[in-house]
Amino acid sequence: MSLRNIGIVYRKELIDSLRDRRTLISMIIVPLLVMPLLTIGMGVLSIALVGVAMREVPQVMILGGQDSPGVVADLHRVKDLQIVPSKPDYAAEISNKKIRAAVEIPEGFEAKLAAGELSTVKIYMYEGELKSGFGADRLQRFFRELRDRSIREHLQARNLPENLAHPFDILETNVAPPEKVGGAVLGGLVPYFVTLLCLTGAMYPAMDLTAGEKERGTIETLLCSPVSRTHLVMGKFLMVLTASIATAVLAITSMALSFGAGKQMLLGITKGASDPALQIAITAKGLISIFFVVLPLAVFFSAALLALSLFAKSFKEAQSYISPLMIIVAMPAIASLLPGVELSPALALIPVLNTSLVSKEIIAGTFHCNMIALIFLSSSFYAGIAIAIAVKLFQREDVLFRT
Amino acid sequence: MIEALHLIKRFHDNKRGTVCAVDNVSFSCRQGQIYGLLGANGAGKTTTLRMLATILAPSEGTAIVAGFDVIKNPQMVRSRVGFLSAATALYGRLTAREMVEYFGRLHGLDEMTLRLRIDELFERLEMNEFRDRRCDKLSTGMKQKVSIARTLIHDPSVMIFDEPTLGLDVMAARTIVKFIRECRDNGKTVVFSTHVMSEVEKLCDRIGIVHGGELLAEGTLVDLRAQFGIQDLEALFVKVVES
């Protein structure tokens, strides 16, 4: 190995690539834009939409209740409910989003309530529809309060203590650190994007440095030089790796920054409400660990992409090999998002999936040092194989001069 | 000095099976001579020259180029050969100077020698006005000069040209022809391939006629004319190929 020769090739490829607009876009612009868009953009958008839904005064219908004027009058007095005249096709009205929910008051409701007889109040809503859910919630809250009030009245009437129907309280307390709670929400998405950006960052230079050279006819010029083919391919590989790492580092950095900025913005919008989903604190230790586990993956991607596009005759052919790879790589990354997929020694051997899973854990504030080591080693092993294949392919005339 | 010894090159083709692109080609070219390979498209000229330049490895046979065996010592051969063909393009995003510098470094020149060599070559080839322009912004003639500077940067003793005038206009082609002649006058060994008869008549000390991968006839122009009894080179070529 002559480091001087590899260095010469690497330096030239770096200068060459940095003058290429398409490489710059995929290497620098995309990661800088995707992460803030993902965190701030999506966060602001969802909170804004939920806020609109929450501020809306839901229109609801009362069905029946002619013999229970007191309850109906109380319902009309509720501030955040708008009662509309009842119609027989209430179900269709809910489905068509003309009204949000409807409540059916049974016959003789007030009389039964006074007598202590059992009756059922039915609330109609459209399951899964956010605004309909808010409407139904408010109706339910009203009737739950009514029920509690009537229990109290019955108990008082019989001179019994109030806590007879409420013998104890249940209090849930969260022991997970705040980043663990936040991590569970956004933690899954982040490694998915880092993995994908690692791939897209390497993609363009890998194609440009191999299939692109064949297409432009510079490969034959390059092969005239006395530098060995192993050195040529190593120089090219280092350039692709640089692009991949640059993309990943930019993505991770911009992610950390936009979480910081995003948190402030979102807290401002929700007026300081401490929603646990927003309590994300990515530490420097977490960032460095993610970088450490992503590094061998970047090596693997760079070498695999180089080998694959080396085989192609033209840029277009290389693209047609690599586009399916995006989906193949996305699959294990998506699998890591599925509930119940947890890091295990067996899964730690599956490329991409292992990195996504462990990054998820790291963002959630958990560090399994043994797992991180195992994943680093297994990814390095795959990376080594991919480099060996790329080097071997570069020695083969039928690959270099495919017609 | 170039000596091709029974060069054979077989390719595997999915449709046609094994194809013999070069079949037992032997010839030699001494220092200060120009050897011309004359043949139609697909005759095996490019493959032969690529084997001499060690870009392809022969299936059988070998060649001694500048004192080294192309199979045993391809790196030594490459550092003594300048190879120029219609297919050896330039890196469009590098400037003329960077392009030549890159190949100088790949040939192991130190920075001091490299600078002197580039200054000399750029002066001689009148390239100084576009030395810092990107290659993809250059005219065909300018590109040709950059390619020539690239092949000369390591001062090779053997020059191999594969259809160097292909696709060039008259002026650019003249530059190349003049350059090939200069190479010979400077004591270099020159092999070039072409299908242009006039270039062969103007330049070559010895001629080899290739067809279907085989070297069918070989000798000086005078020898060949005497052997076949035909003065006109084109008619001679057709006779050799068709016989």
Residue A191 within a domain = yes
User: In this predicted model, what pLDDT tens digit does every residue of B120-130 receive, in sequence order?
Assistant: 999 998 999 99
Contacts of B108 in chain A (CB under 8 A): 226
pLDDT at A273: 46
pLDDT at A270: 55
pLDDT at A272: 47
Taking the Cβ of residue B14 and every Cβ of chain A, the question of whether any pair is shorter than 8 Å is answered with: no
A90/A122 same-domain check:
yes
Cβ atoms of A94 and A132 within 8 Å: the answer is yes
A212/A346 same-domain check:
yes
Cβ-Cβ pairs closer than 8 A, A with B, add up to 63
- Nearest Cα residue to A121 out of A66, A57, A63: A63
* B156 contact partners, CB below 8 Å, separation of at least 6: B66, B79, B80, B81, B82, B188
CB contact under 8 A, A223 and B55: yes
Give the structural domain span for A123.
Answer: 54-161
In angstroms, the separation between the Cα of residue B78 and the nearest Cα of chain A is 5
Cα separation, B50 vs B25, in Å, equals 13
Domains delineated in chain B? 2-80+158-242 (3.40.50.300), 89-155 (no CATH)
Residue A139: CATH number of its domain: 3.40.1710.10
A109/A206 same-domain check:
no
Counting other chains too, the contacts that A148-153 makes at CB distance below 8 Å and 24 or more residues apart are A150/A113
Residue A171 within a domain = no
A213/A318 same-domain check:
yes
Contacts of B83 in chain A (CB under 8 A): 224
CB contact under 8 A, A397 and B76: no
Taking the Cβ of residue B221 and every Cβ of chain A, the question of whether any pair is shorter than 8 Å is answered with: no
Amino acid at residue number B189: T
- Label residue A92 exposed, middle or buried (CB < 10 Å: 0-12, 13-18, 19+): exposed
A71/A12 same-domain check:
no
Q: How many domains does chain A have?
A: 2
A189/A154 same-domain check:
no
CB contact under 8 A, B89 and A217: yes
pLDDT at A282: 60
A204/A262 same-domain check:
yes
Tokens representing residue B113 in the block:
């020698």
Kindly give the parts of chain B with pLDDT less than 70. Answer: none
Residue A200 within a domain = yes
Cβ atoms of A82 and A125 within 8 Å: the answer is no
pLDDT at B237: 92
Cβ atoms of B124 and A42 within 8 Å: the answer is no
A61/A39 same-domain check:
no
Taking the Cβ of residue B22 and every Cβ of chain A, the question of whether any pair is shorter than 8 Å is answered with: no
Cβ atoms of A143 and A121 within 8 Å: the answer is yes
Residue A340 CA: distances (Å) to CA of A35, A336, A346, A357, B235: 26, 9, 15, 11, 82
In angstroms, the separation between the Cα of residue A133 and the nearest Cα of chain B is 60
CB contact under 8 A, A8 and B12: no
Q: Of the residues A131, A161, A191, which one is the last residue of a structural domain?
A: A161
Counting other chains too, the contacts that A150-156 makes at CB distance below 8 Å and 24 or more residues apart are A150/A113, A154/A116
How far is C-alpha A358 from the chain's CA centre? 15
Cα separation, B66 vs B31, in Å, equals 9
Residue A285 within a domain = yes
The single residue listed with the structure tokens 């059988």 is: B60
How far is C-alpha A73 from the chain's CA centre? 46
How far is C-alpha B201 from the chain's CA centre? 17
Phi–psi pair at B20, nearest 5 degrees = -95, 100
A120/A187 same-domain check:
no
Phi–psi pair at B45, nearest 5 degrees = -65, -50
Cα separation, A102 vs A125, in Å, equals 7
Q: Of the residues A132, A161, A190, which one is the last residue of a structural domain?
A: A161
**pTM reported for the whole predicted model:** 0.81
Residue A247 within a domain = yes
Q: What is the mean pLDDT of each run of 10 residues along chain A (403 residues)?
A: 90 93 84 77 75 82 87 86 86 88 89 85 87 88 89 86 81 68 58 82 92 92 92 95 90 77 63 49 73 88 93 91 87 79 84 85 80 90 93 90 77
A36/A85 same-domain check:
no
> Best mutation site among A209, A225, A227, A230 for testing chain B: the one with the most B CBs within 10 Å?
A225
A249/A365 same-domain check:
yes
Q: Of the residues A104, A135, A161, which one is the last residue of a structural domain?
A: A161
Cα separation, A291 vs A240, in Å, equals 17
A276/A319 same-domain check:
yes
Residue A356 within a domain = yes
CB contact under 8 A, A221 and B89: yes
Angle at the Cα of B120 (from B115 to B123), degrees rounded to 5? 120
- Please tell me what DSSP assigns to residue A166: -
The single residue listed with the structure tokens 């550092």 is: B79
CB contact under 8 A, B94 and A15: yes
Contacts of B151 in chain A (CB under 8 A): 224
Q: What is the DSSP string of B1-33?
A: -EEEEEEEEEEEETTTEEEEEEEEEEEEE-TT-
> Best mutation site among B93, B99, B150, B159 for testing chain A: the one with the most A CBs within 10 Å?
B93
Q: Where are the beta strands (DSSP E) in A223-328?
A: none
Q: Which helix (H) or strand (E) holds A196?
A: helix A189-209
Cβ atoms of B130 and B142 within 8 Å: the answer is yes
The single residue listed with the structure tokens 């200069």 is: B182
Residue A304 within a domain = yes
- Nearest Cα residue to B135 out of B176, B183, B98: B98
Residue B182 CA: distances (Å) to CA of A33, B30, B77, B185, B192: 56, 16, 22, 5, 14
User: In this predicted model, what pLDDT tens digit does every residue of B145-192 receive, in sequence order?
Assistant: 999 999 999 999 999 999 888 888 888 888 889 989 999 999 999 999
